[in-house]
Amino acid sequence: MLLVMREKARRPSSRGSTSHRSGLSPLTAQTLHGVPDSRLPHGGAAAHPRSGRSPLPHGGRRSAPCPRHPARPPPGRHAQPLSSPPQGWAPRGRAELPPGERGRAGTAAAGRAGGAAKMAAPLAGRAAVALRTLALRSARLRGSFPAVQLTPRRWLNLQEYQSKKIMADHGVTVQRFFVADSANDALQAAQRLKAKEIVLKAQILAGGRGKGIFNSGLKGGVHLTKDPEIVEQLAKQMIGYNLSTKQTPKDGVTVKKVMVAEALNISRETYFAILMDRACNGPVMVGSPQGGVDIEEVAVTSPELIFKEEIDIFEGVKDHQALQMAKNLGFKGPLEQQAADQIKKLYNLFLKIDATQVEVNPFGETPEGQVVCFDAKINFDDNAEFRQKEIFAMDDKSENEPIENEAAKYDLKYIGLDGNIACFVNGAGLAMATCDIISLNGGKPANFLDLGGGVKEAQVYQAFKLLTADPKGKPEQPKELESTRCSFPLSAGGRSALLLLAKRSAQRSSRL
Amino acid sequence: MSHCSRAAARLLGRFLRLQQNGVRHCSYSASRKNLYISKSTKVICQGFTGKQGTFHSQQALDYGTNLVGGISPGKGGKTHLGLPVFNSVKEAKEKTGASATVIYVPPPFAAAAINEAIDAEMPLVVCITEGIPQQDMVRVKHRLVRQDKTRLVGPNCPGVINPGECKIGIMPGHIHKKGRIGIVSRSGTLTYEAVHQTTQVGLGQSLCIGIGGDPFNGTNFIDCLDVFLKDPHTEGIILIGEIGGNAEEDAAAFLKENNTGPNAKPVVSFIAGLTAPPGRRMGHAGAIIAGGKGGAKEKIAALQSAGVVVSMSPAQLGSTIYKEFEKRKLL
C-alpha cells in the first residue's frame, strides 16, 4: 500500500455544481443539488388526494380512486409476511417526478451489481428516493437537507429504451414504445402506435428531463399529446439539440433518440422485486400491494404488507408461488393469473440477464385490466460481464466521470472521492481500510483504488498516471511524491512499475 | 422507525432466518472440522498448469505444504513441478489420498470446478478465484448446504493457512508465525496486516482463514469462530469484516451465545468501509451498503455489544489483542 500526497483534486464541475462536500464525489454533490424542493417528501408539489404524493410520472395517470385497491391484503395469505426485508434488498421506492414528467413510462438505466443506476427515473427523482430511503427520517423531521453520502448508482448505464427493450424481449409487459432518431421517424412511430395518448421522452441518462430545457427553446424533455403531428413537431425540437437539466452539464447533453410510447392510465400500484438474498442463499421475491409509495416506509409502518417468497434456484418460481404473490399484491380475478405470468417472466429475466436485483415499482394495474411494469430498476452482476456481452456493450459511458472510465479500461477498481490523499492499494479490504485510516487521522482520501492481487506492471503504471494526472490538463510540474507508508511489499507488478516510474521521472528531471 | 422497533424487526428477521436455515445448515456445519489443516493434509490443485496455479503451487511447495498433485483436464499423466497431473478431481483423490483441493480456475469455469470437487467428496475445497457470477455461486451453495462431506472456503479468498504446517492459498507465508491467535477475515491483504502485527507482538497465529469478499460463499464467520472457540491452541481471535451483508452481525450473535463468562476468549475486530459511500461496490462483490443496510457502524455496534473489542484503525490490531492478553494475564 502506498499513500501519495498530491494537490487537492479539482474536478471539472461537469454538472454545473462546484460545491464539494467532504467525502462526497462531485456526482454526489450534484445529485443533492439537483433535487428540487418540490420533490422532497415534505415538498410542495400538488399532492395526490389519496397518497398525498405528486401526480404519477409514468405516462401513468392515476384515475379516480380505485375501489379495488385494498387497504389490507386479502385474508388467507400463505406467504410469510416480512418483518425485516431481505438482506440484499435495496428498495428504490417510488421515483417522484414533477408534473411535467408524467409521461415517463418504463425502465431507467440499469446498474451493475450492488450499484444500480436508474432506469427511467431521472437522477433527481432517484436522489429524492435515496434521501427518503437512506435513513433520513430525522433529517426529514428537521425539514432540512441532510449531508449524507449518497452516490447516484452509475455502473452499467443503459438508456430507458434499452432497459425496456430487454424487459419486453423477455415477455414482460411494458408500455408499447418505439425509438426514433429523427422527427419523421417519431411521426411514423406515433402513427404506428395507434395509442389514445402518446408520451414523448428524450433519451438521456441524466434525470430531471421533465423540467429540462432544450437549446432549441423547447421546454421539457417529456411531453404528453394525443396528436402524432405534435409528436413530430416536438421531436424536431428535441433530436440533435442539447437538453439541459439539473443533472446535466451546463451545456446539456445531446439528445440522439427519443422514445415514443403509449401513455396508460394506472388504477392501482403495487411493488414487486426479485433479488439474490444472502440470508436465504438465493433468489427471493418481495412484494407489496402498497406500491407507488415509499416502500421503505411500508416496511417499517406496515411490515405485514410486505410479502416475501423464497425461490429454489433449481426449481424456479412454482405456479402456486406466483399465484400466491399475485394474490398478496391484490390482483383479483383474471388479473391474478396475468400478474402471476408477469412474475414468472420477471424471474426468468432476472436469471437470464444475471441480475442481482430487479425492482418493479409500480407494478401496476390499468383500468382496462392490464398488468403493466411501468418502471423498473435492474442491478446487473459485474462478474457476469463475460457472458452478458450484449448488455454490457450497451453501456453508455458518456456521462461517467472520465477518470472512472479510464480506470475501468485497465480493470482497475476506482471510485473517486473528494480529498487530497490519493490511495494506491492492493486489495479491496485494505483499500477501504486505507480510506478509513486517513479519515480517522483527519485527512481526506481522494479515491478508493483496488489494484487487485494479480495486477500487472502496465496496470500499475496506468494507475499511477491516473492518480497523478492533473484534471485541468495544465503542463505538469514535477509532483512531489511522498511515500508515507509502505506496509507490505507491493505485488511483483507493483514493484517493477515503481522502478519504471522512478527511472522515467529521473530521465525527465535530467532533461529539465 | 424507533430504535426499539428496528431492533425488534431485526431480531424477528434473524429468528425467521435461523428457522429457515436451521434444517439445511445442520448437515453442512458438520464439515467445519475440515477447516483445520495440518502438516499431514495432502493438497491437490485444480488449474494446476495455469499461470496462477503454477506460481502459487511452487510457493506452496517452498513453504512446505504437502502438495501431492494437480488437475488439468486433458493433461493427465504428465508431470508438473515434479508432481503428477490428473484429468479429474476424483482420479487425483483416489490416486493421492488428498483431502484438500485449491482452485485457481478462471471465473467462467470455477463454479464447475467446485462442483467437481463436491462430486468427489473432497473434505476441503479452497476457491481462490475472484469474479465468479453470483448466480453460479447461488447454485453451488444450494448443493453445498445440503451435504456434509465437503467444506468450501471462498470464492474470492486468499485461502487457509496453519503457519509452519500447511499453506493453501496465496498469502505470503513468511509473515506468519505459529502461535495463539485465530484470524478470520473477508479481506485478503487486510488479513496480512493482522498477521504481520500479531507476529510482531509475538503472539503468532494458530490458524488463518480468509472467507473472501463475495456475497455467496462457502464459509462464514460463524463457521470459523466455532472452530476457534473449540480449538485449545487458539487463545485469542481477530475478526476482520467489511461493509455489506449481515455476516458480522450474525457473528456477534454467535459470540454472545458461545463466548461469554470468565473463560471467554478475547476477540478483537476491525470493520473496513466506515467511510465508504453507500451504493458503491467497493472492490469486493459483497462490499456494498445497499438500501441503508450493511453499513460499518451497525456492525461495529453489534460486535461491541457481544464483548468484542473493535479497533478503529487497522494498524492497531496486534497491539489491541496484546493488551487484551495482558488484561487477562494470558501472557
Please give the pLDDT value at position B123.
Answer: 98
* Cβ contact, residue pair B273, A432, below 8 Å: yes
Kindly name the residue from A296, A359, A365, A399 that is annotated as catalytic: A359
Distance of CA A420 to the CA centre of its chain: 28
Q: Which residues of B186-213 are buried (b: 16+ CB within 10 A; e: fewer)?
A: bbbbbbbbbbbbbbebebbbbbbbbbbb
B221-240: average pLDDT: 97
> Which residues of chain B neighbour A90 with C-beta distances below 8 Å?
279, 290-291, 293
Asked whether residue B129 is marked as a ligand-binding residue, the answer is yes
Distance from CA of B191 to the nearest CA of A (A): 8
Give helix A123-133 / helix A26-34 axis angle, nearest 10°. 90
Please give the pLDDT value at position A460.
Answer: 86
pTM equals 0.75
* Cβ contact, residue pair A415, B187, below 8 Å: no
Active site residues of B: 284
Q: Which of residues 61-90 of B touch A (CB under 8 A)?
A: none
Asked whether residue B304 is marked as a ligand-binding residue, the answer is no
CA-to-CA dists, residue A211 to A34, A129, A246, A277, angstroms: 11, 18, 8, 37
Any B CB within 8 A of A433 CB:
yes
> Which residues of chain B neighbour A387 with C-beta distances below 8 Å?
108, 133
Distance from CA of B69 to the nearest CA of A (A): 23
* Segments of B104-211 assigned E as strands: 124-127, 151-153, 159-162, 166-169, 178-185, 205-210
A148, A313, A381 member nearest B139 (Cβ): A313
Task: Give the residues of chain A that fall short of pLDDT 50.
Answer: 1-57, 59-60, 62-84, 92-121, 124, 127-128, 130-154, 472-490, 492, 512
Which three cell numbers, joined as nine digits, stand for B215? 456475497
pLDDT tens across A449-487, in order?
Answer: 888 777 788 888 888 888 887 553 333 333 333 333 333
E strand or H helix at A347: helix A334-352
The residue among B34 and A375 whose pLDDT is bigger is B34
pLDDT tens across B282-318, in order?
Answer: 777 677 776 667 889 999 999 999 999 999 999 999 9
E strand or H helix at B143: helix B134-144
* Cβ contact, residue pair A428, B284, below 8 Å: yes
Beta carbons within 10 angstroms of residue A475's beta carbon: 5
pLDDT tens across A367-395, in order?
Answer: 999 999 988 878 889 899 999 999 998 88
Please give the pLDDT value at position B51.
Answer: 93
Which three cell numbers, joined as nine digits, stand for B254? 454467535
B130, B142, B275 member nearest A436 (Cβ): B275
Which three cell numbers, joined as nine digits, stand for B12? 424477528
Please give the pLDDT value at position A503.
Answer: 61
Rounded to whole angstroms, the maximal C-alpha distance in chain B is: 66
> Which residues of chain B neighbour A281 with C-beta distances below 8 Å?
21, 138, 141-142, 145, 216
Please give the pLDDT value at position B26.
Answer: 67
Distance from CA of B113 to the nearest CA of A (A): 17
* Cβ contact, residue pair A115, B243, below 8 Å: no
CB pairs under 8 A between A and B: 236
Please give the pLDDT value at position B298.
Answer: 93
* Cβ contact, residue pair B189, A381, below 8 Å: no
* Segments of chain B assigned E as strands: 43-46, 67-71, 79-80, 83-86, 100-103, 124-127, 151-153, 159-162, 166-169, 178-185, 205-210, 236-242, 267-272, 309-310
Any A CB within 8 A of B316 CB:
no
Any A CB within 8 A of B272 CB:
yes
Give helix B189-200 / helix B317-327 axis angle, nearest 10°. 50
pLDDT-derived band at B14, boundaries 50, 70, 90: very low
* Cβ contact, residue pair A382, B281, below 8 Å: yes
Which three cell numbers, joined as nine digits, stand for B292? 441503508
The residue among A16 and B216 whose pLDDT is bigger is B216
A134, A417, A448 member nearest B278 (Cβ): A134
pLDDT tens across A233-271, in order?
Answer: 999 999 999 999 887 888 888 999 999 999 999 999 999
Q: Please enumerate in sequence order all residues whose Cβ is within 8 A of that of B120, keeping only pairs 6 or more positions apart, or say none.
A: B88, B89, B90, B93
Q: Please enumerate in sequence order all residues whose Cβ is within 8 A of that of A242, keeping only pairs 6 or more positions apart, or say none.
A: A214, A215, A251, A252, A253, A254, A255
Active-site residue, A241 included: no
* Cβ contact, residue pair B215, A276, below 8 Å: yes
User: How many angstroms separate the CA atoms of B252 and B267, rounded?
Assistant: 10
> Which residues of chain A neighbour B6 with C-beta distances below 8 Å?
300
Any A CB within 8 A of B58 CB:
no
* Cβ contact, residue pair A279, B246, below 8 Å: yes
The residue among B6 and A78 whose pLDDT is bigger is B6
B192 to chain A: closest CA residue: A488
CA-to-CA dists, residue B158 to A410, B124, B191, angstroms: 23, 15, 9
Q: Which of A364-373, B4-13, B186-195, B212-221 has the lowest mean pLDDT?
A: B4-13
Asked whether residue B36 is marked as a ligand-binding residue, the answer is no
pLDDT-derived band at B23, boundaries 50, 70, 90: very low
